[in-house]
Structures are given as structure tokens and as C-alpha cells.
Amino acid sequence: MRLRFAPSPTGRLHVGGARTALFNWLLARHHRGQLVLRIEDTDAERSTRDSEASLIADLAWLGLDWDEGPDVGGPHGPYRQSERRALYAGRAAALVEAGSVYPCFCTDAELEQRRAARAAEGGEAHYDGRCRDVAAAVARQRIQGGEAHALRFRVRANPTWRRSGAGQRDAAGQRTLGPRLGLLREEQQRQWLTDKGKVGGFRPLAFEVLSRGLVRFRRGDGAGGPPGGF
């Protein structure tokens, strides 16, 4: 069994992160598996090597160890997300070629303005897909001209929203911890593949799982989903 803990080096290790690391470590050691430490330095503005060193020191102080990571190496490196950008770029290019993603040229200000407008109308905030059908030749020309863009997954154009309560099952069949409002997973029109100009902005979960041979991981409650998953 191979598991991972992926802290963000933007500050000190907090108790929720320590709890998640402990559970992953216990599960790995119980099954005589391996634990991978991956540094999630995708926030280039806030991530620092000092914070990374502090996280590693705090984990060691807790008595936790790992089999692969930026400090110990391993066969599936590099273990900092920022150092894997070339790998993600290759995967992203393949998805672009296959037509599975498309470039979005909407600025953060434009997106926020639309979200506010929908909220004022009582609607739920989600991407309206306006860059979805930009002609490939036009998109190429805009990219070559240096226009900032992100990549979005090409999924169904009209997302279906669903509200779930505590104890109910979400779209993936997992029990929710409390009231939750979200898109059905196969319809996540707003999901980024890459962020504009951010190092490691690629949403690499599936690629990370496959490339590192990970089997199972547990996440903290604040990770954008249920606290456990494959």
C-alpha cells in the first residue's frame, strides 16, 4: 500500500494537517506500505523553502517518517509540485490535442463580476462556458499573442446542481459531513486544468496517483472534499 501526505509550504504545520499526516502514516505502517511526502508548492507567491523545512521538522518532531520525499528522494520524484511542471505540461498538451480541454481567456475580474451578478439574481455561481466554443485558430492566435489563459475541462455545457444534507451520499457515493452544494462530478464545467501563469497550477490528482503508484490517501476536511478517498 502506498499513501501520501501533501502539505502546502505556506506557513507552519497546523493541527489538522498533523492529524491527516498521522492517519496516513498509521495506515501505511500498519499495512507495511510506503508513505510519500509531496510538497504542494503550487502557490508560488506564498510558498517558501523555510516553510517547507519547518513542516519537515515538525513532522519529524511528531515521530513521523516517510519513504519518499524531497529530503530523502525516491524513484518517483521530483517531490515538489513546482518541479513537476514539465510533466504536467506534457499531459496538458495531450488533453488539448484530444479536445478534452479548451483555453479560457476570462480574467479574474470578469469571472468575479459574473459571479456577483448571478448571486444578485439568486442563482448559483458557476462558469458560463463563454470560451468553450472559441474557434481553435482564434484561440491559437490569442495564445501566441501572449494573452493570459487557463485550461478548462470540456464537459457538458449546462451543469446540474444538487444540494445534499449531512449524512447523505454525494455524487461519488461518499457520505457528506454536512450541508453541501456542488456540481455533479461529471459536470464540473468550472473545474480548472491549469491556472493562469501559476507554477504547478495543473490539477494533477489522477496523474499523481498513476505516476506514483498511490493506492489510497486521506485528506483534511478543508481540502475541498470528503476527508478520505482513493
Give the residue-averaged pLDDT of 69-88.
88
Question: How many separate domains does the chain show?
Answer: 2
Cα separation, 35 vs 25, whole angstroms: 6
CB–CB of 206/88 below 8 Å? no
Q: Does some domain include residue 52?
A: yes
Domain CATH code at residue 26: 3.40.50.620
Q: Does some domain include residue 183?
A: yes
Same domain for 61 and 25, yes or no, is: yes
- Mean pLDDT, the chain, rounded, equals 75
Same domain for 221 and 185, yes or no, is: no
Q: Does some domain include residue 119?
A: no
Q: What is the residue range of 66's domain?
A: 2-76+213-229
Q: Does some domain include residue 36?
A: yes
Same domain for 66 and 10, yes or no, is: yes
Is the confidence at residue 170, as pLDDT, over 80?
A: no
Q: Does some domain include residue 223?
A: yes
Q: Does some domain include residue 199?
A: no
- The per-residue pLDDT for range 11-61, each reduced to its tens digit, is 999 999 999 999 999 999 999 999 999 998 878 889 999 999 999 999 999
pLDDT for residue 212: 56
Q: Does some domain include residue 152?
A: no
Pairing label, strands 150-153, 192-194: antiparallel
Taking the alpha carbons of 135, 155, 206, 190 in that order, is the dihedral positive or negative? Answer: positive
